[in-house]
């Protein structure tokens, strides 16, 4: 079954050439004069190929008449310049074969625009829509750009474990991994007897690959991970998923300044890449989803990112007249309304906040001389808030040990992490980029559930629970 992808047919200059395409009918229209227009899409690009099928075709009645929106077909035909508006070329069918019929009475995707809420209930069909096809292609392009960026800079791609025994963020928001029979949990006194579990100890899905990335950075220099991470936080917001993808570079011999520089270069590279490689899909998002996305990406490639301290950020927020839902006070974590205010109202662009109070950041961040703040950095963007969180890491053994005790972690569980500070410790830094938040920012889609193929959120495991939401 040789076929030419529709993207290549549409770009072809071989007028009069013969091509075979395969795809799904988006719409069919019967015209006066004895022929039908079929708009065919195969996912290789946003655009459809217009196929002209004349009634004189041998199987017009048995095939063309029967195929409707959703049907899969194979067409062999001759490429011609299109006299109609909206396309340069069209395919004049010589042969049409129905590969898979779709019943127009029950096919859930009709010509009209469906709501994103409805489309979430049919995750098995939504990639056949313009929006979800475009999201899939942009995700693919950004993934490629991520690897290109780091590979060009000599970073090593590291595969960190999905099943883990430690809590990187120390926040306790982890999914347990177990083979114990939940109906008959073995106990030792009041406690679960994990010695009878698969690993012999409690295990969970990783919330971040950072701690393992540090191990490799402290041996190989510059590394990065790009993999799935899991958080059992009960946040039902448009920016939280229980399963999301994270990109985590980690660099030895690098301080917070170097970390910031890398984050800025990284984001600019990705935005420029998307503008160059996803022109058609980005034009679509700009037209139908958010009319500012193209301009925003263009600006960001050129613009500097504002860097200020958490303390300066709190000052600006306290002085503002904005009626925030959550109070602003030094020492309190910033809510996304605060982050967005700084980006959207104060600076009109992305903001990098550094030096957060130690109480609201993870144990591994490097302590500043003031003893109150740590060398953290969050990259905040308009409409979303935080897309990157990172820091310079605490490289002093005793300070790190003190921070673990302060934050209630058992140093015995992290003996290997402490070892790294005993044997050849060096300044090192890294960050984590939330891949879906980045895709949200790029596409302008307001709900994170619409930028990942199969979103997992509290109470929603896709097909198992999806239809109840209809």
340 touches ligand 4AD (CB under 6 A): no
Residue closer to Mg ion (CB basis): 64 or 367 = 367
244 touches ligand 4AD (CB under 6 A): yes
437 touches ligand 4AD (CB under 6 A): yes
Q: Which residue is nearest to Mg ion (CB)?
A: 389
* Out of 54, 306, 315, 386, the residue judged to bind ligand 4AD by CB under 6 A: 386
- Kindly state the smallest distance separating residue 162's Cβ from ligand 4AD, in Å: 15
- Kindly state the smallest distance separating residue 435's Cβ from ligand 4AD, in Å: 8
* List of residues contacting Mg ion (CB under 5 A): 389
434 touches ligand 4AD (CB under 6 A): yes
Please choose which of Mg ion, ligand 4AD, none residue 368 contacts, taking the beta carbon within 5 to 8 angstroms, the exact cut-off set by kind: none
Q: Do 332 and 360 contact (CB within 8 A), yes or no?
A: yes
Please choose which of Mg ion, ligand 4AD, none residue 432 contacts, taking the beta carbon within 5 to 8 angstroms, the exact cut-off set by kind: ligand 4AD
Residue closer to Mg ion (CB basis): 15 or 171 = 171
224 touches ligand 4AD (CB under 6 A): no
430 touches ligand 4AD (CB under 6 A): yes
Residue closer to ligand 4AD (CB basis): 155 or 431 = 431
Residue closer to Mg ion (CB basis): 197 or 355 = 355
Binding segment toward ligand 4AD, per CB under 6 A, in 76-84, 99-107, 241-249, 453-461: 241-249
* Out of 28, 240, 375, 403, the residue judged to bind ligand 4AD by CB under 6 A: 240
214 touches ligand 4AD (CB under 6 A): no
Contact positions vs ligand 4AD (CB under 6 A): 168-169, 208, 210, 231, 233, 240-241, 244, 246, 248, 386-390, 430-432, 434, 436-437
């Amino acid at each position: 079954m040789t076929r030419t992808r529709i993207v290549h047919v549409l770009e072809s200059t071989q007028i009069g050439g013969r091509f075979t395409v395969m795809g799904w009918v988006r719409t069919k229209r019967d015209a006066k004069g004895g022929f039908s227009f079929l708009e065919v899409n195969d996912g290789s690009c946003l655009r459809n190929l217009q196929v002209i099928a004349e009634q004189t075709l041998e199987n017009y009645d048995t095939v063309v008449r029967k195929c409707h929106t959703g049907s899969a077909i194979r067409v062999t035909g001759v490429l011609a310049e299109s006299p109609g508006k909206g396309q340069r070329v069209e395919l004049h069918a010589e042969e049409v074969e129905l590969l898979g019929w779709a019943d127009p009475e029950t096919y859930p995707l009709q010509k009209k625009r469906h709501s994103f809420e409805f489309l979430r209930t049919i995750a098995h069909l939504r990639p056949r829509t313009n929006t979800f096809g475009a999201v899939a292609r942009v995700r693919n392009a950004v993934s490629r750009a991520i690897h290109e960026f780091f590979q060009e800079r000599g970073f090593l791609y590291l595969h960190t474990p999905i099943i883990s025994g430690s809590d990187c963020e120390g926040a306790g928001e982890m999914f347990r991994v177990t083979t114990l029979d939940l109906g008959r949990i073995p106990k030792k006194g009041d406690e679960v007897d994990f010695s009878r579990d698969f690993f012999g100890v409690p295990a969970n899905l990783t919330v971040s690959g950072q701690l393992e990335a540090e191990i490799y950075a402290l041996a190989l220099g510059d590394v990065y991970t790009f993999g799935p991470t899991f958080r059992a936080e009960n946040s039902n917001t448009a920016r939280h998923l229980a399963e999301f993808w994270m990109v985590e570079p980690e660099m030895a011999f690098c301080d917070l300044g170097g970390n910031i520089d890398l984050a800025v270069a990284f984001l600019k590279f990705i935005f420029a890449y998307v503008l160059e490689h996803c022109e058609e899909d980005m034009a679509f998002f700009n037209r139908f989803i958010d009319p500012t996305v193209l301009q925003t990406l263009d600006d960001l490639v050129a613009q500097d990112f504002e860097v200020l301290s958490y303390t300066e950020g709190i000052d600006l927020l306290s002085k503002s007249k904005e009626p925030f839902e959550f109070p602003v006070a030094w020492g309190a974590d910033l809510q996304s309304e605060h982050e967005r205010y700084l980006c959207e109202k104060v600076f009109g662009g992305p903001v990098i906040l550094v030096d957060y109070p130690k109480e609201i950041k993870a144990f591994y961040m490097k302590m500043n001389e003031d003893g109150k703040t740590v060398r953290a950095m969050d990259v905040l963007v308009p409409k979303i808030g935080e897309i990157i969180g990172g820091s310079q890491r605490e490289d002093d053994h005793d300070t790190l040990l003190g921070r673990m005790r302060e934050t209630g972690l058992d140093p015995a569980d992290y003996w290997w992490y402490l070892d790294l500070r005993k044997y050849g410790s060096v300044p090192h830094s890294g960050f984590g980029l939330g891949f879906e938040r980045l895709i949200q920012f790029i596409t302008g889609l307001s709900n994170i559930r619409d930028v990942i193929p199969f979103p997992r959120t509290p109470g929603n495991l896709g097909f198992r629970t999806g239809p109840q939401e209809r």
